[in-house]
Structure 1
Amino acid sequence: MATAKPDLTRFAAQPGPVVAVRLGYAGLLPFVFTAVYLCFAAIPGTDLPFVETLAHATAVYGAVILSFLGGVRWGIAMAGRQRGMREFVLSVLPSLLGWGAALLPPVAAMAVLAGGFLMQAGWDQRAAIKGSLPLWYATLRRRLSMVVTVALLVAASGLLLGRVA
């Protein structure tokens, strides 16, 4: 017997638990702060401290968050909502991608992480459509992933512009 697919028109209408939503948005602060800081650091004549340290810290933070998202998917697989070997194997890929990205120079790391966040967001959307993730989670992840991706790309651009200037 086939299960009914969720009503996707309700994606935005389903608020998640307040604490999850607040913590999710709070997790954006390091990404957004870094993007702004590195853009200001790229302005000719500015000499802001800690640019390389902050860029590396952002790549590491992005790797940790991407790994966390893979852990969420591991938990879904353990809970039995998607219990195939494929789900367990795929759930470790964000951690491996994040780890590899953290070993790269910051600009490359940020680009790889941006791609990883986009792929994870797409995976979450498909899982919500199939009914293995709550709609509120997919909505939250989509919003957060878009901000994270833009912030990482802006931060990488700031680093590149700062080196050229």
Structure 2
Amino acid sequence: MAGSKPDLTRFAAQPGPAVAVRLGYAGLLPFVFGAAYLGLSAIPGTELPFARTVAYATAVYGAVILSFLGGVRWGIAMAGRQRGMREFAYSVLPSLVGWIAALLPPVVAMAVLAGGFLMQGGGDQRAAAKGSLPLWYAALRRRLSVAVTLSLLVAAAGLLLGGIA
């Protein structure tokens, strides 16, 4: 039937390609490391010699990954039946947000990136509900987006509480 929503229930139980899932979780490591290291700066009397470097590295990595997620959406738009302005415009927004964030002080960048990951994650959920993305991808992205957002916020809080920001 034209115009009806696709039946996605048959895809719900599929976990997705193992390599994609493993690489997705491996991509969390720089975020988790940044959060753990910078979170230590919130402990009074703790001196972290590489705090500024780790803060910048975490923010820049976040910008790169957010841009990558926009590229995924660009590819989906190219492969899909709908190739309108809106689909392509939405796919370049993550790169623009990441680029702007990379130019900001790390604590502000991390807050902007956290918002960007939440918005991108929400867009991915809506796209999966419409049938543009596989449900396994949406489920993976939901978990990864939560972990990335929490990591960025912990890292930013560590910078603020440690007086490094």
- The equivalent residue for 1:79 is 79
Q: Deviations over 1:48-80 (max 9, x none)?
A: 211001101111000000000000000001112
- The equivalent residue for 2:36 is 36
The alignment's C-alpha RMSD in Å is: 1.6
Separation of aligned partners in 2, 1:8 and 1:107: 41
SS of the counterpart of 1:2? coil
- The equivalent residue for 2:17 is 17
Deviation at 1:43, TM superposition (A): 1.1
Separation of aligned partners in 2, 1:8 and 1:54: 42
- The equivalent residue for 1:148 is 148
- The equivalent residue for 1:161 is 161
- The equivalent residue for 2:49 is 49
Separation of aligned partners in 2, 1:6 and 1:106: 43
- The equivalent residue for 2:96 is 96
Q: Deviations over 1:62-105 (max 9, x none)?
A: 00000000000000011124311110111000000000001000
Flag structure 1 segments of 5+ consecutive residues without an equivalent. none
Separation of aligned partners in 2, 1:124 and 1:90: 11
Deviation at 1:159, TM superposition (A): 0.3
SS of the counterpart of 1:163? coil
Separation of aligned partners in 1, 2:81 and 2:113: 27
- The reply to whether residue 2 of structure 1 matches residue 3 of structure 2 is yes
Q: TM-score, normalised by structure 2?
A: 0.94
Q: TM-score, normalised by structure 1?
A: 0.94
* Percentage of identical aligned residues: 77
Residues 5 and 131 of structure 1 are in contact (CA less than 8 Å); yes or no, is this contact kept in structure 2? Answer: yes
Tell me the amino acid that sits aligned with residue 76 of structure 2.
I
